[in-house]
Chains A and B, each alone.
Chain A
Amino acid sequence: MKLHEIAHARTGDKGDVSNISVIAYDPAHWPIIRDHVTPARVAAHFGSFAKEDVTRYTLPHLHALNFVIRGALTGGVTRSLALDAHGKCLASVLLEMEIDMSASLTD
Protein backbone atom coordinates (compact mmCIF):
# COMPACT_ATOMS: atom_id res chain seq x y z
CA MET A 1 0.00 0.00 0.00
CA LYS A 2 1.25 3.45 -0.83
CA LEU A 3 1.11 6.22 1.77
CA HIS A 4 -0.91 8.19 -0.83
CA GLU A 5 -3.87 5.86 -0.22
CA ILE A 6 -4.23 6.81 3.45
CA ALA A 7 -2.66 10.26 3.82
CA HIS A 8 -2.35 13.67 2.23
CA ALA A 9 0.63 15.99 2.51
CA ARG A 10 1.94 19.51 1.83
CA THR A 11 5.43 20.96 1.52
CA GLY A 12 6.60 24.33 2.80
CA ASP A 13 10.03 25.97 2.58
CA LYS A 14 12.07 28.45 4.60
CA GLY A 15 15.61 29.03 3.40
CA ASP A 16 17.29 25.65 2.99
CA VAL A 17 14.74 23.87 5.20
CA SER A 18 11.81 21.93 3.81
CA ASN A 19 8.86 20.88 5.93
CA ILE A 20 6.40 18.22 4.87
CA SER A 21 3.14 17.56 6.67
CA VAL A 22 1.57 14.10 6.49
CA ILE A 23 -2.09 13.89 7.50
CA ALA A 24 -4.34 10.83 7.82
CA TYR A 25 -7.60 10.92 5.88
CA ASP A 26 -9.17 8.46 8.29
CA PRO A 27 -8.33 8.54 12.01
CA ALA A 28 -8.29 4.74 11.88
CA HIS A 29 -5.08 4.91 9.84
CA TRP A 30 -3.34 7.30 12.21
CA PRO A 31 -1.51 4.60 14.24
CA ILE A 32 -0.16 3.06 11.03
CA ILE A 33 1.13 6.41 9.79
CA ARG A 34 2.58 7.34 13.17
CA ASP A 35 4.41 4.01 13.49
CA HIS A 36 5.62 3.56 9.91
CA VAL A 37 6.47 7.05 8.68
CA THR A 38 9.53 7.67 10.83
CA PRO A 39 12.40 10.10 10.24
CA ALA A 40 14.69 7.19 9.28
CA ARG A 41 12.22 5.91 6.71
CA VAL A 42 11.60 9.38 5.30
CA ALA A 43 15.36 9.88 4.90
CA ALA A 44 15.75 6.46 3.26
CA HIS A 45 12.79 7.11 0.95
CA PHE A 46 14.25 10.28 -0.50
CA GLY A 47 17.73 8.80 -0.55
CA SER A 48 19.33 12.25 -0.47
CA PHE A 49 18.89 13.31 3.16
CA ALA A 50 20.61 12.04 6.30
CA LYS A 51 18.22 10.88 8.97
CA GLU A 52 19.90 13.25 11.46
CA ASP A 53 18.63 16.12 9.30
CA VAL A 54 15.02 14.99 9.64
CA THR A 55 13.01 16.08 12.70
CA ARG A 56 9.47 14.84 13.24
CA TYR A 57 6.74 16.65 15.18
CA THR A 58 3.54 14.82 16.09
CA LEU A 59 0.02 16.31 16.35
CA PRO A 60 -2.07 13.32 17.47
CA HIS A 61 -5.38 15.20 17.76
CA LEU A 62 -5.09 16.24 14.10
CA HIS A 63 -3.73 12.82 13.06
CA ALA A 64 -0.83 14.68 11.53
CA LEU A 65 2.95 14.57 11.39
CA ASN A 66 5.26 17.43 10.48
CA PHE A 67 8.69 16.57 9.08
CA VAL A 68 11.35 19.26 9.09
CA ILE A 69 14.30 18.47 6.81
CA ARG A 70 17.40 20.64 7.11
CA GLY A 71 19.60 21.16 4.06
CA ALA A 72 16.84 19.73 1.87
CA LEU A 73 16.81 22.43 -0.79
CA THR A 74 20.44 22.37 -1.99
CA GLY A 75 21.15 25.86 -0.71
CA GLY A 76 17.61 27.20 -0.58
CA VAL A 77 15.28 28.63 -3.17
CA THR A 78 17.56 31.50 -4.11
CA ARG A 79 20.80 29.56 -4.81
CA SER A 80 19.56 26.11 -5.71
CA LEU A 81 20.15 24.62 -9.16
CA ALA A 82 17.03 22.49 -8.72
CA LEU A 83 14.13 23.02 -11.10
CA ASP A 84 11.74 22.87 -8.13
CA ALA A 85 13.88 25.02 -5.88
CA HIS A 86 11.09 25.39 -3.30
CA GLY A 87 10.72 21.62 -3.01
CA LYS A 88 6.97 22.00 -3.61
CA CYS A 89 6.92 18.53 -5.23
CA LEU A 90 8.48 16.72 -2.27
CA ALA A 91 5.21 16.05 -0.43
CA SER A 92 3.84 14.05 -3.35
CA VAL A 93 7.13 12.18 -3.62
CA LEU A 94 6.83 11.24 0.05
CA LEU A 95 3.32 9.88 -0.59
CA GLU A 96 4.95 7.33 -2.92
CA MET A 97 6.33 5.62 0.19
CA GLU A 98 5.34 1.95 0.47
CA ILE A 99 3.71 1.12 3.78
CA ASP A 100 4.49 -2.51 4.51
CA MET A 101 2.11 -3.50 7.29
CA SER A 102 4.05 -6.67 7.98
CA ALA A 103 7.39 -4.91 8.40
CA SER A 104 9.15 -4.60 11.73
CA LEU A 105 8.64 -1.20 13.32
CA THR A 106 12.15 -0.83 14.68
CA ASP A 107 14.50 1.42 12.79
Chain B
Amino acid sequence: MSIIRIGAGAGFQGDRLAPALDLAERGQLDYLVFECLGERTIASAQQARRKDPSRGYDPLLERRMRAVLPVCAKNGTRIVTNMGAANPVGAAQHTARIARELGLSGLKVAAVTGDDVLDRIGRFVLDETGAPASELGDRLVSANAYVGIDGLVEALAGGADVVICGRASDPTLFLAPLVHEFGWARDDWEKLGRGVLIGHLLECAAQITGGYFADPGVKDVPDLANIGHPLAEVDAEGNATITKLPGTGGRITRATCIEQLLYEIHDPARYLQPDVVADFSSVDFHDLDPDRIGVSGAGGTPATGQLKVSVGYRDGWIGEGQISYAGANCVARGQLAIETVRARLAPYGAQMFDERGEMVGVNSVWPGARAAADTPEVRVRCAARCADSDTARRVVEEVEGLYLAGPAGGGGATGTVREVLAIASTLMPANAVTSGVEMLEVHRETA
Protein backbone atom coordinates (compact mmCIF):
# COMPACT_ATOMS: atom_id res chain seq x y z
CA MET B 1 0.00 0.00 0.00
CA SER B 2 1.61 3.23 -1.08
CA ILE B 3 -0.41 5.98 0.63
CA ILE B 4 -2.44 5.74 3.82
CA ARG B 5 -5.22 8.25 4.39
CA ILE B 6 -5.86 8.93 8.05
CA GLY B 7 -8.35 11.46 9.38
CA ALA B 8 -9.20 13.12 12.69
CA GLY B 9 -12.78 12.52 13.81
CA ALA B 10 -12.51 14.29 17.16
CA GLY B 11 -9.94 16.27 19.11
CA PHE B 12 -11.65 16.26 22.50
CA GLN B 13 -14.50 14.59 24.32
CA GLY B 14 -17.17 17.02 23.24
CA ASP B 15 -15.98 17.62 19.69
CA ARG B 16 -18.38 18.22 16.82
CA LEU B 17 -19.74 15.18 15.00
CA ALA B 18 -20.69 16.60 11.57
CA PRO B 19 -17.08 17.06 10.29
CA ALA B 20 -16.24 13.50 11.37
CA LEU B 21 -19.20 12.09 9.49
CA ASP B 22 -18.23 14.14 6.42
CA LEU B 23 -14.69 12.71 6.57
CA ALA B 24 -16.09 9.18 6.94
CA GLU B 25 -18.37 9.64 3.96
CA ARG B 26 -16.14 11.52 1.52
CA GLY B 27 -12.59 11.17 2.80
CA GLN B 28 -11.74 7.78 1.24
CA LEU B 29 -10.06 7.11 4.55
CA ASP B 30 -8.17 4.04 5.64
CA TYR B 31 -8.43 5.18 9.28
CA LEU B 32 -10.63 7.56 11.24
CA VAL B 33 -9.27 8.46 14.68
CA PHE B 34 -11.32 9.87 17.55
CA GLU B 35 -9.17 11.42 20.31
CA CYS B 36 -11.59 12.13 23.14
CA LEU B 37 -9.70 11.87 26.41
CA GLY B 38 -8.54 14.95 28.33
CA GLU B 39 -6.27 14.99 31.38
CA ARG B 40 -9.17 14.86 33.79
CA THR B 41 -11.68 12.94 31.67
CA ILE B 42 -10.40 9.52 32.65
CA ALA B 43 -10.62 10.27 36.39
CA SER B 44 -14.26 11.31 36.10
CA ALA B 45 -14.86 8.23 33.93
CA GLN B 46 -13.36 6.09 36.71
CA GLN B 47 -15.83 7.63 39.16
CA ALA B 48 -18.70 6.87 36.76
CA ARG B 49 -17.52 3.26 36.51
CA ARG B 50 -17.48 2.91 40.30
CA LYS B 51 -21.12 3.94 40.41
CA ASP B 52 -22.03 1.59 37.52
CA PRO B 53 -19.47 -1.04 36.43
CA SER B 54 -20.96 -1.17 32.93
CA ARG B 55 -20.15 2.54 32.38
CA GLY B 56 -16.97 4.56 32.54
CA TYR B 57 -16.50 5.01 28.81
CA ASP B 58 -17.16 8.11 26.73
CA PRO B 59 -20.78 9.26 27.08
CA LEU B 60 -20.82 10.24 23.40
CA LEU B 61 -19.59 6.82 22.22
CA GLU B 62 -23.09 5.67 21.37
CA ARG B 63 -23.89 8.76 19.30
CA ARG B 64 -20.57 8.73 17.47
CA MET B 65 -20.61 5.00 16.70
CA ARG B 66 -24.20 5.02 15.49
CA ALA B 67 -23.32 7.84 13.11
CA VAL B 68 -20.05 6.58 11.65
CA LEU B 69 -20.10 2.77 11.94
CA PRO B 70 -22.33 2.10 8.91
CA VAL B 71 -20.40 4.39 6.57
CA CYS B 72 -17.00 3.26 7.88
CA ALA B 73 -17.99 -0.39 7.45
CA LYS B 74 -19.17 0.33 3.91
CA ASN B 75 -16.00 2.23 2.96
CA GLY B 76 -13.56 -0.11 4.70
CA THR B 77 -12.41 2.63 7.07
CA ARG B 78 -11.05 1.37 10.40
CA ILE B 79 -11.78 3.34 13.55
CA VAL B 80 -9.23 3.95 16.31
CA THR B 81 -10.30 5.74 19.47
CA ASN B 82 -9.58 6.25 23.17
CA MET B 83 -13.30 6.54 23.93
CA GLY B 84 -12.88 3.48 26.15
CA ALA B 85 -11.71 5.87 28.89
CA ALA B 86 -11.93 3.92 32.18
CA ASN B 87 -13.67 0.92 30.59
CA PRO B 88 -12.43 -0.07 27.10
CA VAL B 89 -13.97 -3.55 27.35
CA GLY B 90 -17.38 -2.09 28.24
CA ALA B 91 -17.03 0.38 25.37
CA ALA B 92 -16.17 -2.41 22.93
CA GLN B 93 -19.11 -4.52 24.11
CA HIS B 94 -21.44 -1.58 23.67
CA THR B 95 -20.01 -0.82 20.22
CA ALA B 96 -20.50 -4.46 19.21
CA ARG B 97 -24.13 -4.22 20.39
CA ILE B 98 -24.66 -1.12 18.28
CA ALA B 99 -23.03 -2.80 15.26
CA ARG B 100 -25.32 -5.80 15.69
CA GLU B 101 -28.38 -3.55 15.80
CA LEU B 102 -27.15 -1.85 12.65
CA GLY B 103 -26.79 -5.23 10.94
CA LEU B 104 -23.01 -4.99 10.59
CA SER B 105 -22.28 -8.68 11.08
CA GLY B 106 -18.67 -9.74 10.77
CA LEU B 107 -17.38 -6.45 12.21
CA LYS B 108 -14.52 -6.95 14.65
CA VAL B 109 -14.26 -4.66 17.66
CA ALA B 110 -11.14 -4.74 19.85
CA ALA B 111 -10.64 -3.41 23.37
CA VAL B 112 -7.07 -2.52 24.33
CA THR B 113 -6.40 -2.70 28.07
CA GLY B 114 -3.43 -2.28 30.34
CA ASP B 115 -3.26 1.47 30.94
CA ASP B 116 -5.03 1.19 34.32
CA VAL B 117 -2.19 0.99 36.89
CA LEU B 118 -4.17 1.92 40.01
CA ASP B 119 -3.18 -1.39 41.66
CA ARG B 120 0.56 -0.59 41.53
CA ILE B 121 0.73 3.21 41.78
CA GLY B 122 1.05 3.40 45.57
CA ARG B 123 4.81 3.67 45.94
CA PHE B 124 5.31 6.15 43.09
CA VAL B 125 6.04 9.73 44.15
CA LEU B 126 3.80 12.32 42.53
CA ASP B 127 5.45 15.37 40.96
CA GLU B 128 2.87 17.79 42.32
CA THR B 129 2.63 16.58 45.91
CA GLY B 130 6.16 15.23 46.38
CA ALA B 131 4.69 12.26 48.26
CA PRO B 132 3.86 8.66 47.28
CA ALA B 133 0.42 8.19 45.75
CA SER B 134 -0.51 5.88 48.63
CA GLU B 135 -0.61 8.91 50.97
CA LEU B 136 -3.75 10.10 49.17
CA GLY B 137 -5.56 7.21 50.85
CA ASP B 138 -9.22 6.96 49.91
CA ARG B 139 -8.96 10.24 47.96
CA LEU B 140 -7.10 8.33 45.21
CA VAL B 141 -9.48 7.77 42.27
CA SER B 142 -7.49 6.64 39.24
CA ALA B 143 -4.03 6.01 37.84
CA ASN B 144 -3.59 5.57 34.11
CA ALA B 145 -0.38 5.23 32.13
CA TYR B 146 0.01 6.90 28.77
CA VAL B 147 0.67 3.70 26.86
CA GLY B 148 2.22 3.34 23.42
CA ILE B 149 1.35 1.46 20.27
CA ASP B 150 1.76 -2.21 21.35
CA GLY B 151 -1.86 -3.09 22.12
CA LEU B 152 -3.23 -1.00 19.28
CA VAL B 153 -0.92 -2.60 16.71
CA GLU B 154 -1.78 -6.07 18.04
CA ALA B 155 -5.48 -5.31 17.66
CA LEU B 156 -5.03 -4.02 14.11
CA ALA B 157 -2.91 -7.05 13.19
CA GLY B 158 -5.74 -9.22 14.56
CA GLY B 159 -8.05 -7.66 11.99
CA ALA B 160 -10.01 -5.26 14.20
CA ASP B 161 -12.25 -2.84 12.34
CA VAL B 162 -12.72 -0.77 15.46
CA VAL B 163 -10.01 -0.42 18.12
CA ILE B 164 -10.98 1.11 21.45
CA CYS B 165 -8.44 1.93 24.14
CA GLY B 166 -8.34 3.99 27.31
CA ARG B 167 -5.37 6.20 28.14
CA ALA B 168 -2.75 6.19 25.42
CA SER B 169 -0.62 9.12 24.39
CA ASP B 170 -2.67 11.08 21.88
CA PRO B 171 -0.28 10.79 18.87
CA THR B 172 -0.14 7.04 19.52
CA LEU B 173 -3.68 6.70 18.13
CA PHE B 174 -2.27 7.81 14.76
CA LEU B 175 1.18 6.26 15.04
CA ALA B 176 -0.18 2.73 15.61
CA PRO B 177 -2.01 2.45 12.27
CA LEU B 178 1.05 3.77 10.43
CA VAL B 179 3.36 1.25 12.12
CA HIS B 180 0.84 -1.50 11.38
CA GLU B 181 0.48 -0.55 7.70
CA PHE B 182 4.10 0.20 6.88
CA GLY B 183 5.77 -2.31 9.19
CA TRP B 184 8.13 0.28 10.65
CA ALA B 185 10.68 -1.24 13.01
CA ARG B 186 10.25 -0.38 16.68
CA ASP B 187 13.75 1.10 16.68
CA ASP B 188 13.38 3.10 13.48
CA TRP B 189 13.36 6.27 15.56
CA GLU B 190 13.19 8.62 12.63
CA LYS B 191 10.05 7.05 11.16
CA LEU B 192 8.44 6.73 14.58
CA GLY B 193 9.21 10.43 15.13
CA ARG B 194 7.60 11.26 11.80
CA GLY B 195 4.52 9.25 12.73
CA VAL B 196 4.29 11.03 16.07
CA LEU B 197 4.45 14.37 14.26
CA ILE B 198 1.53 13.39 12.01
CA GLY B 199 -0.43 12.32 15.07
CA HIS B 200 0.45 15.48 16.94
CA LEU B 201 -0.67 17.68 14.05
CA LEU B 202 -3.99 15.84 13.62
CA GLU B 203 -4.91 14.95 17.20
CA CYS B 204 -6.68 18.28 17.90
CA ALA B 205 -8.79 17.98 14.75
CA ALA B 206 -9.96 21.47 13.70
CA GLN B 207 -7.07 23.18 15.46
CA ILE B 208 -5.02 22.70 12.28
CA THR B 209 -7.78 23.62 9.83
CA GLY B 210 -8.40 27.11 11.17
CA GLY B 211 -10.01 26.45 14.54
CA TYR B 212 -8.49 28.13 17.62
CA PHE B 213 -6.91 30.44 15.04
CA ALA B 214 -9.35 33.00 13.61
CA ASP B 215 -8.60 36.61 14.54
CA PRO B 216 -10.83 38.85 12.43
CA GLY B 217 -8.97 41.26 10.20
CA VAL B 218 -5.62 39.68 11.06
CA LYS B 219 -5.98 35.92 10.66
CA ASP B 220 -9.23 35.45 8.80
CA VAL B 221 -10.67 31.97 8.34
CA PRO B 222 -13.24 31.37 5.59
CA ASP B 223 -16.52 29.72 6.56
CA LEU B 224 -15.47 28.92 10.13
CA ALA B 225 -19.02 27.70 10.81
CA ASN B 226 -18.53 24.76 8.44
CA ILE B 227 -14.91 24.02 9.32
CA GLY B 228 -13.65 20.65 8.13
CA HIS B 229 -11.51 18.21 10.06
CA PRO B 230 -8.02 17.35 8.78
CA LEU B 231 -6.66 14.24 7.16
CA ALA B 232 -3.12 13.21 6.29
CA GLU B 233 -1.90 11.35 3.24
CA VAL B 234 1.10 9.42 4.49
CA ASP B 235 3.70 7.43 2.54
CA ALA B 236 5.85 4.54 3.74
CA GLU B 237 8.71 6.89 4.62
CA GLY B 238 6.45 8.89 6.95
CA ASN B 239 6.24 11.90 4.65
CA ALA B 240 2.82 13.48 4.84
CA THR B 241 0.50 15.98 3.27
CA ILE B 242 -2.05 17.58 5.58
CA THR B 243 -5.30 18.53 3.91
CA LYS B 244 -9.07 18.67 4.31
CA LEU B 245 -12.07 17.87 2.15
CA PRO B 246 -13.12 20.17 -0.70
CA GLY B 247 -16.16 22.25 0.16
CA THR B 248 -15.48 22.39 3.89
CA GLY B 249 -14.79 25.62 5.74
CA GLY B 250 -11.56 26.64 7.38
CA ARG B 251 -8.06 26.75 5.93
CA ILE B 252 -4.77 24.88 6.24
CA THR B 253 -1.68 27.06 5.88
CA ARG B 254 1.88 27.16 7.14
CA ALA B 255 0.61 29.42 9.92
CA THR B 256 -2.08 27.01 11.15
CA CYS B 257 0.46 24.16 10.97
CA ILE B 258 3.18 26.02 12.92
CA GLU B 259 0.72 26.98 15.67
CA GLN B 260 -0.37 23.36 15.99
CA LEU B 261 3.21 22.05 15.80
CA LEU B 262 4.03 23.94 19.00
CA TYR B 263 0.69 23.35 20.75
CA GLU B 264 1.31 21.67 24.12
CA ILE B 265 4.98 21.16 23.26
CA HIS B 266 7.79 22.00 25.66
CA ASP B 267 11.25 21.32 24.19
CA PRO B 268 10.58 20.86 20.45
CA ALA B 269 13.68 18.67 20.16
CA ARG B 270 12.43 16.28 22.83
CA TYR B 271 8.74 15.50 22.66
CA LEU B 272 8.55 12.56 25.05
CA GLN B 273 6.36 9.74 23.80
CA PRO B 274 5.97 6.12 24.94
CA ASP B 275 7.59 4.67 21.80
CA VAL B 276 10.08 7.38 20.82
CA VAL B 277 11.41 10.78 21.79
CA ALA B 278 10.25 12.78 18.79
CA ASP B 279 12.33 15.66 17.49
CA PHE B 280 10.29 18.48 15.94
CA SER B 281 13.11 21.03 15.99
CA SER B 282 13.78 20.80 12.24
CA VAL B 283 10.20 20.28 11.05
CA ASP B 284 9.16 22.44 8.12
CA PHE B 285 5.96 22.98 6.17
CA HIS B 286 5.61 23.44 2.42
CA ASP B 287 2.78 25.03 0.46
CA LEU B 288 1.71 22.51 -2.16
CA ASP B 289 -1.74 23.70 -3.17
CA PRO B 290 -4.43 25.66 -1.36
CA ASP B 291 -5.26 23.73 1.83
CA ARG B 292 -2.52 21.19 1.11
CA ILE B 293 0.63 21.45 3.21
CA GLY B 294 3.62 19.11 2.98
CA VAL B 295 5.35 18.14 6.22
CA SER B 296 9.01 17.23 6.53
CA GLY B 297 11.96 17.12 8.89
CA ALA B 298 10.77 15.23 11.96
CA GLY B 299 13.22 12.91 13.64
CA GLY B 300 13.47 10.78 16.73
CA THR B 301 15.70 9.24 19.35
CA PRO B 302 15.15 6.18 21.58
CA ALA B 303 12.24 6.23 24.00
CA THR B 304 13.09 6.90 27.66
CA GLY B 305 11.65 3.60 28.94
CA GLN B 306 9.41 5.56 31.30
CA LEU B 307 5.69 6.16 30.88
CA LYS B 308 3.85 9.20 32.18
CA VAL B 309 1.06 8.28 34.57
CA SER B 310 -1.89 10.55 35.37
CA VAL B 311 -3.19 10.11 38.89
CA GLY B 312 -6.68 11.37 39.69
CA TYR B 313 -7.65 12.25 43.28
CA ARG B 314 -10.39 14.08 45.11
CA ASP B 315 -9.11 17.42 46.33
CA GLY B 316 -11.91 19.31 48.06
CA TRP B 317 -14.73 21.38 46.64
CA ILE B 318 -14.88 24.60 44.64
CA GLY B 319 -17.65 27.09 45.33
CA GLU B 320 -18.06 29.90 42.84
CA GLY B 321 -20.48 32.83 42.60
CA GLN B 322 -20.90 35.59 40.04
CA ILE B 323 -22.88 38.85 39.91
CA SER B 324 -22.98 41.75 37.43
CA TYR B 325 -22.58 45.53 37.88
CA ALA B 326 -22.99 48.00 35.03
CA GLY B 327 -22.93 51.67 34.22
CA ALA B 328 -21.52 54.55 36.23
CA ASN B 329 -18.85 53.55 38.76
CA CYS B 330 -19.38 49.83 38.11
CA VAL B 331 -15.73 48.93 38.68
CA ALA B 332 -15.71 50.51 42.16
CA ARG B 333 -18.99 48.80 43.06
CA GLY B 334 -17.59 45.49 41.81
CA GLN B 335 -14.49 45.95 43.92
CA LEU B 336 -16.63 46.72 46.98
CA ALA B 337 -18.64 43.55 46.30
CA ILE B 338 -15.46 41.43 46.30
CA GLU B 339 -14.24 43.02 49.55
CA THR B 340 -17.63 42.46 51.16
CA VAL B 341 -17.75 38.78 50.22
CA ARG B 342 -14.20 38.30 51.49
CA ALA B 343 -15.08 39.84 54.85
CA ARG B 344 -18.20 37.70 55.21
CA LEU B 345 -16.28 34.51 54.33
CA ALA B 346 -13.42 35.27 56.72
CA PRO B 347 -14.87 33.11 59.55
CA TYR B 348 -14.60 30.07 57.23
CA GLY B 349 -10.94 30.71 56.38
CA ALA B 350 -9.71 27.53 58.05
CA GLN B 351 -11.84 25.42 55.67
CA MET B 352 -10.65 27.33 52.58
CA PHE B 353 -7.38 26.43 50.88
CA ASP B 354 -7.40 29.00 48.17
CA GLU B 355 -9.63 31.88 47.11
CA ARG B 356 -9.97 34.31 44.27
CA GLY B 357 -11.97 37.51 43.70
CA GLU B 358 -11.93 39.22 40.32
CA MET B 359 -13.94 41.08 37.73
CA VAL B 360 -14.67 39.44 34.39
CA GLY B 361 -14.13 42.16 31.81
CA VAL B 362 -11.24 43.63 33.78
CA ASN B 363 -8.80 41.20 35.33
CA SER B 364 -10.08 37.60 35.37
CA VAL B 365 -7.51 36.40 32.84
CA TRP B 366 -4.68 38.89 33.22
CA PRO B 367 -4.05 39.86 36.86
CA GLY B 368 -1.84 42.73 35.70
CA ALA B 369 -4.68 44.39 33.75
CA ARG B 370 -6.32 47.66 34.85
CA ALA B 371 -9.90 48.73 34.22
CA ALA B 372 -10.48 51.32 31.50
CA ALA B 373 -12.08 54.57 32.65
CA ASP B 374 -15.22 53.87 30.64
CA THR B 375 -15.70 50.16 31.44
CA PRO B 376 -19.40 49.64 30.66
CA GLU B 377 -19.99 46.59 32.86
CA VAL B 378 -18.21 44.05 35.02
CA ARG B 379 -19.06 40.61 36.29
CA VAL B 380 -17.77 39.95 39.78
CA ARG B 381 -16.54 36.44 40.35
CA CYS B 382 -15.61 34.96 43.73
CA ALA B 383 -14.31 31.40 44.00
CA ALA B 384 -12.75 29.31 46.73
CA ARG B 385 -11.43 25.77 47.02
CA CYS B 386 -12.77 24.37 50.27
CA ALA B 387 -12.42 21.31 52.48
CA ASP B 388 -16.09 20.39 52.20
CA SER B 389 -19.19 21.10 50.15
CA ASP B 390 -20.89 23.08 52.95
CA THR B 391 -18.11 25.64 52.99
CA ALA B 392 -18.13 25.82 49.20
CA ARG B 393 -21.88 26.48 49.41
CA ARG B 394 -21.16 29.53 51.66
CA VAL B 395 -19.28 31.16 48.73
CA VAL B 396 -22.34 30.85 46.51
CA GLU B 397 -24.62 32.15 49.28
CA GLU B 398 -22.49 35.17 50.08
CA VAL B 399 -22.36 36.23 46.44
CA GLU B 400 -26.13 35.78 46.15
CA GLY B 401 -26.50 37.74 49.40
CA LEU B 402 -25.10 40.79 47.61
CA TYR B 403 -28.52 41.28 46.01
CA LEU B 404 -29.93 42.87 49.15
CA ALA B 405 -26.87 43.47 51.28
CA GLY B 406 -24.21 44.49 48.74
CA PRO B 407 -23.37 47.50 46.57
CA ALA B 408 -26.03 49.25 44.47
CA GLY B 409 -27.35 47.59 41.37
CA GLY B 410 -26.01 44.04 41.54
CA GLY B 411 -27.85 41.65 39.21
CA GLY B 412 -27.84 38.19 37.68
CA ALA B 413 -26.23 36.22 40.50
CA THR B 414 -25.31 32.63 39.69
CA GLY B 415 -23.41 30.00 41.62
CA THR B 416 -22.00 26.51 41.39
CA VAL B 417 -20.51 23.97 43.78
CA ARG B 418 -18.43 21.10 42.42
CA GLU B 419 -16.08 18.47 43.74
CA VAL B 420 -12.47 18.89 42.64
CA LEU B 421 -11.00 15.96 40.78
CA ALA B 422 -7.33 16.87 40.66
CA ILE B 423 -4.68 15.31 38.45
CA ALA B 424 -1.10 14.68 39.45
CA SER B 425 1.55 12.93 37.44
CA THR B 426 4.49 10.60 37.86
CA LEU B 427 6.65 8.27 35.78
CA MET B 428 6.52 4.47 35.77
CA PRO B 429 8.91 2.04 34.07
CA ALA B 430 7.38 0.97 30.76
CA ASN B 431 8.03 -2.68 31.57
CA ALA B 432 5.63 -2.43 34.54
CA VAL B 433 2.77 -1.85 32.11
CA THR B 434 1.48 -4.63 29.84
CA SER B 435 -1.15 -4.20 27.16
CA GLY B 436 -3.90 -6.67 26.50
CA VAL B 437 -6.36 -7.06 23.63
CA GLU B 438 -9.89 -8.46 23.72
CA MET B 439 -11.47 -9.09 20.34
CA LEU B 440 -15.24 -9.20 19.84
CA GLU B 441 -16.82 -10.27 16.59
CA VAL B 442 -20.31 -9.14 15.69
CA HIS B 443 -22.59 -12.02 14.74
CA ARG B 444 -25.92 -11.83 13.04
CA GLU B 445 -28.83 -11.46 15.45
CA THR B 446 -30.67 -14.74 15.78
CA ALA B 447 -34.39 -14.37 16.31
Contacts and interface: CB of A to CB of B under 8 A. Distances in A.
A95 to B, nearest CB: 9
Interface string B351-363: 0001110101000
Interface in A2-21: 4, 8-10, 12-17, 19, 21
A52 B221 CA distance: 37
B405 interface: no
Contacts of B25: none
Contacts of B374: none
A83 B268 CA distance: 29
Interface stretch (B148-156, B176-184, B418-426, B436-444): B418-426
A25 B265 CA distance: 20
Given A12-B262, A23-B258, A66-B268, A79 B425 contact: no
The range of chain A's interface size is: 35 or more
Contacts of A75: 354, 422
Nearest to B282: A61
Given A78-B39, A81-B355, A13 B264 contact: yes
Most chain B CB inside 10 Å of its own CB: which residue of A74, A78, A83? A78
B128 A10 contact: no
A23 B368 contact: no
The range of chain B's interface size is: 35 or more
B258 A19 contact: no
A6 B216 CA distance: 15
Contact of B266 (A17, A45, A61, A78): A17
Given A19-B265, A23-B259, A81-B384, 17 more contacts: A4-B218, A8-B218, A8-B219, A10-B213, A10-B263, A17-B266, A19-B264, A21-B262, A21-B263, A47-B368, A61-B282, A76-B39, A77-B39, A78-B43, A81-B318, A81-B383, A82-B364
Interface of A: 4, 8-10, 12-17, 19, 21, 23, 25, 45-48, 55, 57, 59, 61-62, 64, 66, 68, 74-79, 81-84, 88-90, 93
